[in-house]
Structure 1
Amino acid sequence: MPHRRTLTLRGTGALLSGLGCLVAANMVGAPILLYIGVLLLALTAFSVLVVRVPRRAGTVTRQISTDLLTVSETSRVTLRFTLRALRVPRGLWRDVLPPAVTGDSAGEYPSETGQLSYLITGVRRGVWPIGPLVLRTVDPFGLAQREQAFGETRSVTVVPEVFTLAPLTVKIGAAGGTAHTSSSRLGQGSDNLSPRRYIPGDSMRRIHWRATAHRGQLMVRQEEEESSPDALVILDRSAARWARPGDDEDRAFETAVSMCASVAVHLVQEGYGVDVIDSSGTLLGTLRGHEDDRDGLLVALALVGPRGDARDIMTLVGGTPPGPLVYITGEIDEEDAALLRPSGAAAPMLFATAPQRGAAAAAEQHGWRFARLGDDVAEAWEDVLPDRIGGPAEQRGATDVTS
């Protein structure tokens, strides 16, 4: 945070004028200039003492109306500022904002309402600091000023924007978005064990002693089948797919992240259990219909950036192919598209922000429903819906016939 100079522009002018008068008084022998010069210098020194000498201390607490701030969403920040000083100064306050957040975070102090508040809008996803609070006061003559920072910073998390997508008019896969595909893994770990009442004939080795002590009756362990997700969303963030112009924002990658969040939230609303991973196999989030799951995914996506290399889809999917498989990538050519295999998914959907010539045909040849991902996330989603008539392939064929 840059600091302002102690003297204002007027104060700098008064100081220079006072020095000039002293020099001129010695040169021309005019006592009046000497008096004026001393007066200006004394007034400037007095103004500096007025703003610098008083001791001030204060505490700041901030409250943001939303826990997670979405890109382009507006939220209100409320500050409670307690200032301890001999007298309450009049001046201007401002809360320091990062470039990723915009807002009019300044006003007069003390305010008429006694409360400091302002609106902020998320511009770029990530975790950013807000603060400290800066109080600027000026002496009555406007010659000297003082800026003092109070309180600590508070982090605000800006998450990617989630768009509303068109519904799937037909359920994909055998589960139909209402159940999970069962796996045969039993008795692995403790997450798949649930206690039930003891039934005569149960083995004593299966008694769940903790549940027995808690409920006051014999309880035994009952193995439950684990389930694998119905849908899988993969965000390809390998460095080779994206441009990295220094610290500047890559709009294509931001669109891909927003698409990933939108698709995952949409599929869970359709009744699917959704796993979201990146191209290296790192789990970004698991959605099973809970609000905390959604927030956890959005926070994870707020922090992702292009890095590493991509792994083969077969390895990422594992043994049980999902129903919908959504793969979101950046720059892709015909050879790259030919290497992407849907791995037995019931509804493979591929989005690319920068497809090269021949990439779409190569992807569709292996069973992908392909769409170029532009600024309109909802439009790209509609282009790959399984029941869409006149999809991208048919539209390209019509264009070829016309040309």
Structure 2
Amino acid sequence: MRRRRSLTGRGAGALVAALCCLIAANLLGARVLLYLGVLLAALTLFSLLAVRLPRRSGTVTRQISTDLLTVSETSRVSVRFSLRAIRVPRGLWHDVLPDAVSADSGGEYPPENGRLSYLITGVRRGVWPVGPLMLRTVDPFGLAQREQAFGETRSVTVVPEVFALAPLAVRVGAAGGTAHTSSTRLGQGSDNLSPRGYIPGDSMRRIHWRATAHRGQLMVRQEEEESSPDAVVVLDRSGRRWDAPGAEADPAFEAAVSLCASAALHLASEGYSVDVLDSAGTLLGALRGHEDDRDGLLTALAMVTPRGENRDLVALIGGTPPGPLVYITGRLDEDDAAVLRAAGAAAPMLFSTEPLPGATEAATRHGWTVARLGGDISAAWEDAVSARIGVGDVPR
């Protein structure tokens, strides 16, 4: 934060003029120039003392209308500023803001309504400080100025933008993602059920006589439970997939993070239990129908950056294949796509911001539905969904 000089441009000019008058008075012997030089110097010194000597202290309380600010979303910041001073100065105030948000956070002090407020718009993901509040006052002659900081900073979390996505259209599991259905098929005539060994306490009605005769030990009918599978969203943030992080945000990575958030929330709205992982196996969030789950995921995604290496996807998913599987990556070549297995998922969809030649064909051979991820996230998702159902129009 750049500090302002104590003298304004007018004050610096007055000081230079005073020095010139004193030199000219000495050279020309003009007493009036001496008086003028002393007057300008004294006036500048008086202005400095007038703005610097008064003691001021104050407290600042900020309130932001939304806890999580989405990229491109606007929120209002209300600031209560209690200043303790001999007299209330008139000046200009502004809140110090990061480049990650845009706002006109300044105005005249004291404000007419007694409260300072302004609108901020999210520009870049992350957790950023807002503040401190700066109050700038100038003496009545405009020769000297004072800028003083009040209050502490407050963090604002800018989360990725979430887009509305087309319905998945293909129901995975017994009831899609809307319910965990179970069917228990017991009783006579259920010989097609897989039997298990008898456990003390099992009902004699459940004895599977054919399996008992075949294996020579008591076997009972296995209670068969059918559940709709969970959904998994994987964000591949390994360093080699993306450009090196710089001062500016990488549009490709920002699109990937935004799709990750959008896909996870969309699948959760369709009734799936959603796990969101990164390519190293770190759990970024789990959506189980609670509002806190949503906020926790968005907060985690606000801070992710490209780093590390990726693990094998099959090992990442584990032994239970998911229903929908969304894998989001950056630069993908043919060799990497050839070893990217779908882990037995019922509906695997692969999104790449930069599929290199041959990558799409190699991934398709493993059952992936591949779509290129560009600036239009909703269109990329719709392309993938349309390809899965084999038609050009997605049912709304």
Give the TM interval when normalised to the shorter protein: 0.7 to 0.9
Between the aligned partners of 1:329 and 1:231, the Cα distance in structure 2 is 17
Structure 2: segments with no counterpart, 5+ residues: 183-200, 202-224
Aligned residues: 349
In structure 2, give the amino acid aligned to 1:15. L
> 2:368 aligned with 1:389, yes or no?
no
Whether the aligned pair in 2 keeps the contact of 1:8 and 1:142 (CA below 8 Å) is yes
Post-superposition offset of 1:358: 1.0
Q: How many angstroms does 1:324 deviate by?
A: 0.2
Look up the match of 1:79.
Answer: 79
Contact 2:353 2:373 in 1 (8 A): yes
Give the structure 2 partner of residue 218 of structure 1: none
- After superposition, residues 125-140 of structure 1 pair within 5 angstroms as 125-140=125-140
Q: 1:175, CA displacement in angstroms?
A: 4.7
- Note if contact 2:179-2:228 (Cα within 8 Å) is conserved in structure 1: no
For residue 390 of structure 1, report the CA deviation from its aligned partner.
4.3
Of residues 75-84 and 241-250 in structure 1, the stretch that sits farther from structure 2 once superposed is 241-250
In the other structure, the counterpart of 2:118 is: 118
Change (3 A) 1:255 1:243: same
Residue equivalent to 2:263:
263
Query: What residue in structure 2 maps to residue 325 of structure 1?
Result: 325
Q: Which residue of 1 aligns with 2:10?
A: 10
Counterpart amino acid of residue 278 in structure 2:
D
User: Does the 8 A contact of 1:173 with 1:324 survive in 2?
Assistant: no
> How far does the alpha carbon of each residue in 1:141-185 deviate from its partner, in whole angstroms, 9 at most, with x for none?
000000000000000000000000011223123351023599xxx
- Inter-CA distance 228–80: structure 2 relative to 1 (3 Å threshold): farther
Q: Deviations over 1:259-298 (max 9, x none)?
A: 0000000000011110000001100000011111000000
**Which residue is equivalent to 1:292?**
292
Query: CA 1:115–1:88 in 2, change beyond 3 Å: closer, same or farther?
Result: same
The gaps in structure 1 that reach 5 residues or longer are 183-200, 202-224, 392-403
Equivalent AA in structure 2 for residue 389 of structure 1: V
Cα separation, partners in 2 of 1:228 and 1:143, compared to 1, 3 Å: farther
Cα separation, 2, equivalents of 1:20 and 1:229: 85
SS in 2 for 1:176: strand
Query: In structure 2, the residue corresponding to 1:77 is in which secondary structure?
Result: strand
Report the counterpart of residue 247 of structure 1 in structure 2.
Answer: 247
Q: Show the 5 A alignment for 1:120-269.
A: 120-180=120-180, 230-269=230-269
Residue 228 of structure 1: how far off its partner (Å): 9.5
Name the SS of the counterpart of 2:177 in structure 1: coil
**CA shift in 2, pair 1:309/1:120, >3 Å:** same
Q: Is the 8 A contact 1:229 1:274 kept in 2?
A: no
SS in 2 for 1:171: coil
Rounded to whole Å, the distance in 2 between the matches of 1:130 and 1:181 is: 48
Q: Greater CA deviation, 247-256 or 124-133? A: 247-256
CA gap 1:38/1:161 in 2 versus in 1, 3 angstroms: same
Which residue number in structure 2 is paired with residue 400 of structure 1? Answer: none
Distance 1:360 1:180 in 2: 34
CA contact (8 A) 2:177 2:228 kept: no
Deviation sequence 1:364-392 (CA, Å, 0-9, x none): 1111000000000000001111224149x
Compute the displacement of 1:245 (Å): 4.6
Which deviates more from structure 2 when the two are superposed, residues 379-388 or residues 115-124? 379-388
Could you tell me which residue of structure 1 aligns to residue 308 of structure 2?
308
Task: Give 1:89-104 correspondences, 5 Å limit.
Answer: 89-104=89-104
Please tell me whether the aligned partners of residues 173 and 228 of structure 2 are also in contact (alpha carbons under 8 angstroms): no
Once the two structures are TM-superposed, the CA of residue 46 in structure 1 deviates from its matched residue by 0.5
What is the rounded CA distance, in whole Å, between the counterparts of 1:259 and 1:37 in structure 2? Answer: 68
Flag the 1:110–1:146 CA change in 2: closer, same or farther, 3 A. Answer: same
The separation in 1 between residues aligned to 2:392 and 2:264, in whole angstroms, is 25
Q: Once the two structures are aligned, what percentage of the paired residues are identical?
A: 73
- Distance in 1, matches of 2:111 and 2:379, equals 47
Instruction: Give me the TM-score of the superposition, normalised by structure 1.
Output: 0.84
Q: Does the residue aligned with 1:158 lie in a helix, a strand or coil? A: strand
- Cα distance, 1:241–1:8 mapped onto 2, change above 3 Å: same
CA contact (8 A) 1:175 1:230 kept: no
Displacement of 1:247: 3.1
Q: Deviations over 1:301-351 (max 9, x none)?
A: 001111111001110111110100000000001111111110110000000
Q: Measure the CA separation in 1 of the matches of 2:229 and 2:103.
A: 41
Please identify the structure whose Cα radius of gyration is greater: 2
AA aligned opposite 1:168: L
Looking at structure 2, the residues matched to 82 and 329 of structure 1 have their Cα atoms a distance apart, in angstroms, of 50
Instruction: Give 4+ residue runs of structure 1 displaced > 3 Å after superposition.
Output: 179-182
